[in-house]
C-alpha cells in the first residue's frame, strides 16, 4: 500500500469510526483542483447498474431543523436533501425560515428521506446558494440563526474563512470552479489569509470490504451550539442515496417528491456521517491557544 493510499485509509477510517477534529486548513489558502482533488486507485460506484426504483415519496411529518438534526437521530439513519428548496429562494443568500419534511414511500416499507424546504412557520436559518458566500457571526446571539443550509454536494467544496470583524465568510464553491470562485480571488474577497474547507476528498470516498470506493454525493450543513459556543460542519456521506426530483408543492410546502431509489447488496445508501469543528481565528493563533490550554490542565 503506497503512502498516499495509506494516508487516505487512515483519514477515511477515522471518519468512519467517528474520530472528529477541526475543519482542515487550506494549504496556501487554495482549494485542490483537477486531478489533485482525487484519490488514486479508487473504484467508481455506478449506481445506475443497481436496482433502481422510480417512485413517489409522500410527506408524512414536518420537523424544525433543531428537531430533525440535533434532537433526533435522523441524520445518521436517513438520506437528507436540499433539492426541495425552490430555485430563486434567497437567490443571493441570506436569512429565511426553513423546516424539514419527512418523505415516505407507501409501498417500499422503511424507505424514508428528509427534505429541506422553505416554511413560513419554520426556523430561521442562513441559506447559501452554490457559488455564493454569506457572512455569519462567529458567535451568534440567541436571536440570530444557528443553522447554515446549502444545496447538496457532488464535487463542490465548503469553505470557511474567519474574519477580523467577528464574522466568518462561508462559501459553497462549485466543483470545477475552484479557481474562479475561490483560489484566484483577492484576499479581501476570500475574507482573510487563512481558510478551512471540506473538499471532495473529505466526503467523496469510502472503504467497502477493504477497497477504496469513490461515490459522488453528500448532504452538509453547519450548526452553532450554544453549549460549546462553536460552529460545526456536519456531512452525510451518501452512496447511491435516493436521487430526488420534481417536488410537488401545496401552499409552498412539499407534499411529494419523485425519487430514483437505488438498491444494491454491496453498500448502503448512507455510509456514515462526520463533523468538524470550525476554528474562529488564524490557524497558528487558534491551535497555539489550544495547546496552551491543554498544557495548563496537565498541571
- Domains of the chain: which residue ranges? 3-296
Q: So what's the pLDDT on residue 57?
A: 83
Q: Which of 84-93, 196-205, 242-251 has the lowest mean pLDDT?
A: 242-251
3-state secondary structure 10-53: HHHHHHHCCCCCECCECHHHCCCCHHHHCCCCCEECCHHHCEEE
What pTM was computed for the model? 0.85
pLDDT digits (tens, 9 = 90+) for 125-166: 999 999 999 999 999 999 999 999 999 998 999 999 999 999
The arithmetic mean of pLDDT across residues 229-240, rounded, is 91
More confident residue, 39 or 264: 39
Residue 289 — very low, low, confident or very high, per pLDDT cuts 50/70/90? very low
The arithmetic mean of pLDDT across residues 223-239, rounded, is 94
Percent of the chain residues past pLDDT 90, beyond the cut: 52
Q: Which residues of 220-257 are buried (b: 16+ CB within 10 A; e: fewer)?
A: bbbbbeeeeebbbbbbbbbbbbbbbeebeeeeebbeeb
Amino acid at each position: 500500500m503506497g503512502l498516499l493510499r495509506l494516508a487516505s485509509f487512515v483519514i477515511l477510517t477515522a471518519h468512519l469510526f467517528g474520530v472528529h477534529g477541526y475543519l482542515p486548513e487550506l494549504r496556501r489558502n487554495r482549494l485542490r483542483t483537477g486531478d489533485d482533488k482525487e484519490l488514486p486507485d479508487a473504484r467508481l460506484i455506478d449506481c445506475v447498474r443497481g436496482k433502481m426504483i422510480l417512485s413517489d415519496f409522500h410527506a408524512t411529518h414536518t420537523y424544525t431543523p433543531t428537531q430533525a438534526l440535533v434532537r433526533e437521530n435522523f441524520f445518521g439513519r436517513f438520506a437528507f436533501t436540499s433539492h426541495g428548496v425552490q430555485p430563486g429562494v434567497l437567490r443571493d443568500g441570506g436569512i429565511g425560515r426553513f423546516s424539514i419534511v419527512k418523505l415516505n414511500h407507501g409501498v417500499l416499507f422503511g424507505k424514508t428521506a428528509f427534505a429541506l424546504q422553505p416554511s413560513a412557520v419554520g426556523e430561521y436559518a442562513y441559506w447559501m446558494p452554490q457559488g455564493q458566500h454569506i457572512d455569519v457571526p462567529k458567535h451568534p446571539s440567541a436571536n440570530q440563526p444557528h443553522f447554515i443550509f446549502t444545496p447538496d454536494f457532488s464535487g463542490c467544496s465548503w469553505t470557511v474563512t474567519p474574519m477580523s470583524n467577528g464574522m466568518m465568510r462561508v462559501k459553497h464553491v462549485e466543483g470545477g470552479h475552484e479557481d474562479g470562485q475561490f483560489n484566484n480571488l483577492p484576499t479581501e474577497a476570500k475574507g482573510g489569509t487563512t481558510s478551512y474547507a471540506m473538499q471532495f476528498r473529505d466526503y467523496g470516498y469510502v472503504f467497502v470490504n477493504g477497497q477504496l470506493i469513490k461515490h459522488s454525493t453528500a448532504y452538509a450543513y453547519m450548526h452553532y451550539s450554544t453549549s460549546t459556543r462553536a460552529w460545526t460542519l456536519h456531512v452525510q456521506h451518501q452512496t447511491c442515496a435516493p436521487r430526488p426530483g420534481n417536488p410537488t408543492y401545496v401552499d409552498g410546502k412539499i407534499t411529494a417528491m419523485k425519487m430514483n431509489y437505488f438498491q444494491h447488496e454491496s453498500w448502503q445508501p448512507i455510509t456514515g456521517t462526520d463533523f468538524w469543528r470550525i476554528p474562529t481565528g488564524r490557524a497558528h493563533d487558534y491551535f497555539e491557544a489550544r495547546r496552551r490550554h491543554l498544557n495548563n490542565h496537565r498541571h
